[in-house]
Structure 1
Amino acid sequence: MTTMTQTTYGVRGLSCWRCMISAVDAVRALPGVHTVALDLEPHGESLLTLAPAGAVTCDQVRATLDRSGFELTRRLRRPRPGVRHRSTPPL
């Protein structure tokens, strides 16, 4: 079994499940991204985690989210403990 490394980003502008689906679908469409998960924090900083780490650059994720109307705020070194994610299956 292979373990994929993950990268987590802070994202602003997500206020509902429709926003969440839009952001997840946009990032999941990037070449090389296998899994996307999102911890929705309405009107705050949501956490977006993708795997494998290094599949895309921070600039690619930022541009993709910008086009979808969301703001990438930061790249986290490691996710907060106890974060619940809504995962999407691999493509």
Structure 2
Amino acid sequence: MTKLSQTRYGVRGLTCNRCLVSALEAVRALPGLRRVAMSLVPSGESLLTVTPSDVATGSELRALLGSVGFELTLRRHEQLPSDLIKPPSEQQAPRPSHP
């Protein structure tokens, strides 16, 4: 079974679903990412997970998210079996909420 790399980052500055969608769209625009997921923690550090992380380096992600107003911090890096990871065509983007 193939092992893929997964890296988790903390993201500060996300305060609403619009922020989440903006950050996700920016990260998903990077070529070669198999999976991108993000959870929103409005008053804290949200979680960004990318697979494989060797395509987009932390510095590239940090610069990209910084350009749209968010701060990136590294949390952890791990190996996953490839059958646990959905291809982009099977992922769903969150829907923005309207205030």
Could you say which residue in structure 1 is the equivalent of 2:67? Answer: 67
Larger % of strand: which?
A: 2
Query: Where does the alignment leave 5 or more consecutive residues of structure 1 unmatched?
Result: 80-87
The secondary structure found in structure 2 opposite 1:49 is strand
Give 1:89 deviation, angstroms.
6.0
Q: Is the 8 A contact 2:38 2:46 kept in 1?
A: yes
Give 1:52 deviation, angstroms.
0.9
Which amino acid in 2 is paired with 1:64? L
Could you say which residue in structure 2 is the equivalent of 1:52? Answer: 52
Query: Where does the alignment leave 5 or more consecutive residues of structure 2 unmatched?
Result: 79-85, 90-99
Give 1:55 deviation, angstroms.
1.2
Do structure 1's residue 28 and structure 2's residue 16 form an aligned pair?
no
Q: Deviations over 1:21-66 (max 9, x none)?
A: 1101100111221211011100210010011121111110001001
Which amino acid in 1 is paired with 2:49? T
Aligned residues between the structures: 82
Which amino acid in 1 is paired with 2:52? P
Q: Deviations over 1:55-91 (max 9, x none)?
A: 111110001001111111x211258xxxxxxxx9616
TM-score of the superposition, structure 1-length normalised? 0.78
The secondary structure found in structure 1 opposite 2:55 is coil
Do structure 1's residue 76 and structure 2's residue 75 form an aligned pair?
yes
User: Computing the radius of gyration over CA atoms, which structure comes out larger, 1 or 2?
Assistant: 2
TM-score of the superposition, structure 2-length normalised? 0.73
Could you say which residue in structure 1 is the equivalent of 2:88? Answer: 90
The secondary structure found in structure 1 opposite 2:88 is coil
Larger % of helix: which?
A: 2
Do structure 1's residue 11 and structure 2's residue 11 form an aligned pair?
yes
